[in-house]
Each structure stands twice: as structure tokens, then as C-alpha cells.
Amino acid sequence: MVEEVSLPVLGSGDVTGPESARRMLERTGCAGLMIGRAALGNPWIFGQVKAYLNGGEVRPPKLVEIQAAMARHLFLLTDHYGEEPARRIFKGWAGRYLKGLPSAKSCREAIHRSGSLEEIRTVLIDYFEQRSGLDRWTGPSGGLS
């Protein structure tokens, strides 16, 4: 396996969180990891894996962090593609960010029904304001102001 080649080998596939990252490193002896689908809507996975592997605290993102990530993503899509394409593209991403959050289904449905970016922003602002008393969530992901 890794010992048979002189180049650094990177592990890839089924790295879905800190524990699976550790298992991949231990099982294969690889020099590093690649994380793919698990990072979609969950950019915090990289810091969580790093913290876990270094013996630190693995903390889920705060709701405000999820809200901020969603707002930034929507802004970047709009800046790059324009409003209508960004609206359509973001509908697919919203579910990834909202996965595991309380009452996420109704929020996703409202986003999918929305006809404009302004409607999406309003849905997300309302959703996160209603949960502002919650500090963190325990799902796999990420934030809108």
C-alpha cells in the first residue's frame, strides 16, 4: 500500500467527519486526506477534522455561522452568475446547509417556492431570527443577515 510508493499518498473516499478521517489515516497510513461531498454545505468539516486529529474540541457551527455562510454563498453566486441563475443554483445548496437543523423542511420548501432572491433572503432571515435563542446545532453543517 502506502509503503510501496515513494510519493505521498492522499486518502480519499468516505471521509464524512472527524472519526472517519482518523480511521482513514490509521488504516492506510496516508500522508493526508481529501474531503469531497461531506464538505458540501458543511465547510466546518475541515476545522473539525483538524481539531479532532490534534486532540482539540470538535464544535458544531453556531447558527450565526451557518447563517453567515449561506449569506456569503448566495452573494457570491449572485455576483458570479446574476440573480436568476443564482436563485436557481442556491435552491439546491440551501438544503445542504439546513440539513439537520430544527424545522429545516419548512424552510427548504419555502426557499423552493420562492420566486426571487429577495424572497429567499426573507425566508432565511425569518428562519434564523426565529431560532436566535439557539446557540448551536448538532447536525453535519452552516448562516444570513
Domain count, the chain: 2
The answer, yes or no, to whether residue 7 has pLDDT greater than 50, is yes
Domain hosting residue 110, numbered range: 63-130
Residues in Cβ contact with 16 at an 8 Å cutoff, skipping those fewer than 6 apart = 38, 140
- DSSP line for 71-139: HHHHHHHHHHH-HHHHHHHHHHHHHHHHTTSTTHHHHHHHHHH--SHHHHHHHHHHHHHHTTT--B--S
Please give the angle made by the CA atoms of 87, 17 and 97, to the nearest 5 degrees: 20
Same domain, 32 and 67: no
CATH number of residue 101's parent domain: 1.10.1200.80
Same domain, 73 and 46: no
* pLDDT (0 to 100) of residue 86: 97
Same domain, 93 and 43: no
The answer, yes or no, to whether residue 145 has pLDDT greater than 60, is no
Same domain, 11 and 44: yes
Of 11, 28, 53, the last residue of a domain is: 53
Predicted TM-score (pTM) of the model is 0.81
DSSP 57: -
* pLDDT (0 to 100) of residue 49: 97
Please report which confidence band the pLDDT of residue 17 belongs to, taking 50, 70 and 90 as the band edges.
very high
CA 54/CA 22 separation, integer angstroms:
10
The mean pLDDT value for 125-139 works out to 72
Instruction: Give the H/E segment covering residue 20.
Output: helix 18-28
Does 9 fall in a domain?
yes
